């Protein structure tokens, strides 16, 4: 469990750590201002995390549990409809509280449900995966997918509190751990080269608790960006590095019933390699550095095999990217490790060449 880390002051809420965070959580609840309280889990967090979390609450019997199916394919309007109806049928009103206990899907979907139910009720995030700790639960982006297109429906709204407890990582499978690790690598590549180097030179899979200080660092990097630009009009676009192609790759595999599904971080890892090669072509990232980034990430993540038709389909999916403006795509690219630039338009031909370089890397 993370100890002795100062709370991080986000946009009107705190990100708190370990027992101090649970003290703050129980203090909020004990004020008695909520008419009813609910905990949203999926089948994974309900099985692996709920009992531990309930033992941290002073009055766990005051909560109703809402469980949904686990997986990106359930980050959908139909799942929202199920949760909205559960809240309505159990007399939730504008003074109700929803606690989101789970990974990125639960943080995204639960926050979206809370922010739209009766035009907004309070919610608190308890991230249980590395991805949700360093990314999904922080920054206020909430939403769901539309026909497997990533995050097409959503709002920006902040939780009342985020509780970071590394205990949950003990039950996290290695592939899920690495999924969050990809986002941390991104933080280094866009803002801090030394941080990127430090991350790739440690083997956190042997002892996941060793990553605790890095979690605080990654949250700090993301929070510093978001506080300057919560609505993504400028600097927050830096956080999209690896995600333009990464989201397209993730959406493509969600649509392929015969293909194995990719975790978000696995798709983003490939996206960062591809967009590093695009950076070489477009923004002058030295080829030596692009190859170094690719080899470093390839040591951690299995390379994805793309068919020629698959590549064409992935590039075509870019036209649905929510960052597009007036029909033009919008990439965040690297000038060098630790320094990124926003608002870059990339041709299909350059994207195709990046896939060729990825295959050869």
Which CATH number goes with the domain that contains 120?
3.40.50.1970
**Assigned domain for 1 exists:** no
Cα 316 to Cα 43, 266, 279, 289, 305: the distances in Å are 34, 20, 20, 28, 18
**Assigned domain for 2 exists:** no
pLDDT at 227: 96
Q: Look up 216 and say whether it is catalytic.
A: no
- Mean pLDDT confidence for 335-355: 98
Co-location of 209 and 165 in the same domain: no
Q: Look up 187 and say whether it is catalytic.
A: no
**Assigned domain for 353 exists:** yes
Residue 185 has pLDDT above 70, yes or no: yes
Residue 256 has pLDDT above 90, yes or no: no
pLDDT at 2: 57
> Among residues 16, 72, 183, 266, which one is catalytic?
183
Co-location of 158 and 181 in the same domain: no
Q: Give the span between the Cα atoms of 162 and 343, in whole angstroms.
A: 31
Q: Which of 126, 154, 171 is the last residue of a domain?
A: 171
**Assigned domain for 285 exists:** yes
Co-location of 70 and 166 in the same domain: yes
pLDDT at 207: 76
Q: Give the span between the Cα atoms of 170 and 204, in whole angstroms.
A: 12
Residue 1 has pLDDT above 80, yes or no: no
Q: Look up 236 and say whether it is catalytic.
A: yes
Q: Look up 308 and say whether it is catalytic.
A: no
- Mean pLDDT confidence for 258-287: 93
Taking only the tens place, the pLDDT of each residue in 195-205 is 999 999 988 88
Q: Give the span between the Cα atoms of 97 and 110, in whole angstroms.
A: 11
* Residue range(s) defining the domain that contains residue 81: 8-171
**Assigned domain for 275 exists:** yes
pLDDT at 261: 79
H or E element, residue 174: helix 174-191
Whole-structure pTM over 0.75, yes or no? yes
> Among residues 31, 61, 119, 258, which one is catalytic?
119
Q: Look up 258 and say whether it is catalytic.
A: no
Co-location of 210 and 308 in the same domain: yes
The set of long-range contacts for 25-28, using a CB threshold of 8 Å and a minimum separation of 24, is 25/56, 25/57, 25/124, 25/161, 25/163, 26/56, 26/57, 26/58, 28/124, 28/160, 28/161
Q: Look up 85 and say whether it is catalytic.
A: no
Co-location of 193 and 330 in the same domain: yes
| DSSP secondary structure letter of residue 310 | H
Beta strands in the chain (DSSP E): 8-9, 14-17, 37-42, 63-68, 97-102, 122-127, 141-146, 149-156, 161-164, 331-336, 339-344
Residue 301 has pLDDT above 70, yes or no: yes
- Mean of per-residue pLDDT scores for the chain: 95
Residue 283 has pLDDT above 80, yes or no: yes
Percent of all residues in the chain with a pLDDT value above 70, rounded to a whole number: 98
Q: Which of 138, 171, 204 is the last residue of a domain?
A: 171
Q: Look up 231 and say whether it is catalytic.
A: no
Co-location of 194 and 290 in the same domain: yes
For residue 251, report the phi and psi dihedrals to the nearest 5 degrees: -65, -40
- CATH code: domain of residue 205: 1.20.1090.10
> Among residues 232, 250, 266, 275, which one is catalytic?
232
Co-location of 273 and 197 in the same domain: yes
**Assigned domain for 90 exists:** yes
Residue 3 has pLDDT above 70, yes or no: no
**Assigned domain for 308 exists:** yes
Q: Who has greater pLDDT, 4 or 250? A: 250
> Among residues 75, 150, 236, 323, which one is catalytic?
236
Co-location of 179 and 326 in the same domain: yes
Co-location of 50 and 197 in the same domain: no
Residue 258 has pLDDT above 70, yes or no: no
The confidence band for 90, taking pLDDT boundaries of 50, 70 and 90, is very high
pLDDT at 210: 80
Co-location of 136 and 211 in the same domain: no
Q: Look up 264 and say whether it is catalytic.
A: yes
Co-location of 288 and 248 in the same domain: yes
How many domains would you assign to the chain?
A: 2
Co-location of 181 and 72 in the same domain: no
Residue 147 has pLDDT above 90, yes or no: no
The confidence band for 34, taking pLDDT boundaries of 50, 70 and 90, is very high
Residue 76 has pLDDT above 70, yes or no: yes
pLDDT at 312: 97
The confidence band for 259, taking pLDDT boundaries of 50, 70 and 90, is low
Q: Which of 151, 171, 191 is the last residue of a domain?
A: 171
- Give me the residues paired with residue 174 across strands: none
Q: Is 331 helix (H, G, I), strand (E, B) or coil?
A: strand
**Assigned domain for 44 exists:** yes
Q: Look up 247 and say whether it is catalytic.
A: yes
């Amino acid at each position: 469990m993370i100890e002795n880390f100062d709370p991080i002051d986000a946009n009107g809420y705190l990100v708190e750590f370990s027992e101090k965070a649970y003290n703050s959580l129980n203090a909020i609840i004990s004020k008695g201002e909520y008419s009813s309280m609910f905990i949203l889990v999926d089948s994974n967090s309900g099985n692996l995390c709920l009992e531990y979390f309930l033992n941290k609450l002073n009055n766990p019997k005051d909560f109703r549990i809402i469980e949904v199916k686990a997986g990106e394919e359930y980050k959908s309007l139909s799942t929202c409809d199920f949760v909205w109806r559960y809240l309505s049928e159990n007399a939730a009103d504008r003074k109700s509280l929803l606690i989101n206990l789970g990974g990125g899907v639960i943080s995204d979907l639960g926050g979206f449900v809370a922010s739209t139910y009766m035009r907004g009720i309070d919610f608190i995030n308890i991230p249980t995966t590395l991805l949700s700790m360093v990314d999904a639960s922080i920054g206020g982006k909430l939403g769901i997918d539309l026909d497997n297109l990533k995050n097409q429906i959503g709002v920006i709204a902040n939780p009342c509190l985020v509780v970071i407890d590394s205990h949950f990582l003990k039950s996290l499978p290695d592939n899920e751990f690495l999924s969050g690790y990809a986002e941390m690598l991104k933080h280094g590549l866009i803002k801090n080269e030394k941080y990127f180097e430090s991350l790739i030179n440690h083997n956190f899979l042997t002892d996941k608790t060793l990553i605790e200080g890095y979690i605080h660092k990654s949250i700090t990097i993301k929070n510093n960006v978001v506080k300057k630009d919560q609505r993504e009009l400028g600097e927050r676009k830096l956080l999209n590095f690896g995600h333009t192609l990464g989201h397209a790759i993730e959406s493509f595999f969600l649509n392929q019933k015969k293909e194995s599904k990719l975790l978000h971080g696995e798709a983003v890892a490939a996206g960062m390699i591809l967009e590093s090669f695009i950076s070489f072509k477009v923004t002058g990232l030295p080829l030596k550095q692009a190859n170094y980034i690719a080899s470093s990430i390839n040591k951690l993540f299995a390379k994805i095999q793309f068919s020629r038709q698959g590549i064409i389909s992935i590039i075509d999916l870019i036209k649905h990217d929510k960052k597009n403006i007036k029909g033009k795509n919008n990439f965040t690219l690297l000038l060098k490790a630790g320094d990124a630039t926003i608002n870059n338009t990339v041709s299909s031909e350059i994207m195709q060449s990046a896939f060729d370089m990825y295959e050869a890397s």
